[in-house]
């Protein structure tokens, strides 16, 4: 049984300038995610990725369709769903006068859980920052801390919405390694991104969205074999991003 099951999901909004018409931001999509997968949702800006995730996370109402997390209906029992998931959003605001350890303790209390802030901070490689304030963190550190907050309830499914947007190449690679460490602990991870190499590197399967619909869903290898069997240029070894990290990575600090 899939841990995430989405069937005929639809979300519409009024068309700009025409109140009588509605535009489908999510247009009747269906997909399932197996327990233990890293599942990617790809697509250009405006494809419907974030809206889809917010509905699955019980943060936004759907117009029609069905969504279940571990057999629990998102529409019928959103509170129970939220107890089983962790959500890292694109942008987060914090109480800037609290330290990282204090924020983790606060978030744990919201779930009625006693947590060990140092253990979670070590997992996301922020062990030396327990007394720092969020505003003192770099972009990469803030992203890792937002993931730390999403882990306080020990979720079965972790949702990451464009987690590496705006990060430099070294910070992006650091976050990829963090995703792998969390996955190795048995977590199912759902990630949206518009970085193709990120999805290819991390994901077991990917769904490609465009204009509110899923236009392809398979493993990265199979999608490449079917839709891009002939490379436009022959790749030697690595990528330009690998070159950048090899030349400058030891000096970068996120």
Distance CA 241, CA 227 (A): 24
CATH number belonging to the domain at 4-84+155-251, selected among 3.40.50.1100, 3.40.50.300, 3.40.50.720, 1.10.1270.20? 3.40.50.300
Say what the pLDDT of residue 239 is: 53
Residue-wise pLDDT for 45-64, tens only, equals 888 999 999 999 999 999 99
Average pLDDT over residues 15-22: 81
HSE on the CB side for 223, CA within 13 Å?
Answer: 17
Question: Which of 34, 70, 47, 48 shows the shortest CA–CA distance to 219?
Answer: 34
Mean pLDDT of the chain: 88
- Laid out side by side, the sheet with 4-15 consists of 18-33, 4-15, 64-69, 72-73
Q: How many CA atoms lie within 13 A of 254 on its CB side?
A: 23
Q: List pLDDT tens digits, range 165-223.
A: 888 888 899 999 999 999 999 999 999 988 888 888 999 999 999 999 999 999 988 88
| Three-state secondary-structure class, residue 209 | strand
What distance in Å separates the CA atoms of residue 43 and residue 210, rounded to the nearest whole number? Answer: 6
Q: Where do the structural domains in the chain lie, given as residue ranges?
A: 4-84+155-251
Q: CA 53 to CA 33: how far, in whole Å?
A: 13
> CA-CA distance, 68 to 57, in Å (whole number)?
10
214-241 residue pLDDT tens? 999 999 888 888 877 765 555 545 554 5
Q: Give the up-direction half-sphere exposure of residue 226: CA atoms within 13 A in the CB hemisphere.
A: 8
- CA–CA separation, 74 vs 61, rounded Å? 9
């Amino acid at each position: 049984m899939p841990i995430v099951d989405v069937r005929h999901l639809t979300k519409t909004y009024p068309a700009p300038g025409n109140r009588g018409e509605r535009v489908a931001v999510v247009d009747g999509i269906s997909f399932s995610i197996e327990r233990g997968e890293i599942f990617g949702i790809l697509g250009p800006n405006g494809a419907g990725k974030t809206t889809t995730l917010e509905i699955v996370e019980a943060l936004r109402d759907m117009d029609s369709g069905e969504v279940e997390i571990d057999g629990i209906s998102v529409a019928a029992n959103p509170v129970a769903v939220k107890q089983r998931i962790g959500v890292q959003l694109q942008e987060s605001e914090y109480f800037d006068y609290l330290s990282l350890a204090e924020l983790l303790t606060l978030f744990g209390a919201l779930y009625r859980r006693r947590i060990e802030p140092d253990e979670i901070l070590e997992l996301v490689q922020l062990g030396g920052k327990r007394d720092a304030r969020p505003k003192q963190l770099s972009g990469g550190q803030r992203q890792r801390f937002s993931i730390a907050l999403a882990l306080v309830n020990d979720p079965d499914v972790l949702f990451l919405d464009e987690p590496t947007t705006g990060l430099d190449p070294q910070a992006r690679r650091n976050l990829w390694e963090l995703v792998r460490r969390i996955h190795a602990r048995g977590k199912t991870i759902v990630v949206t991104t518009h970085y193709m190499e990120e999805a290819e590197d991390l994901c077991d399967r990917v769904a490609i969205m465009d204009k509110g619909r899923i236009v392809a869903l398979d493993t990265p290898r199979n999608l490449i074999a079917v839709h891009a069997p002939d490379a436009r240029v022959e790749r030697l070894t690595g990528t330009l991003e690998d070159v950048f990290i090899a030349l400058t990575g030891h000096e970068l600090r996120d």
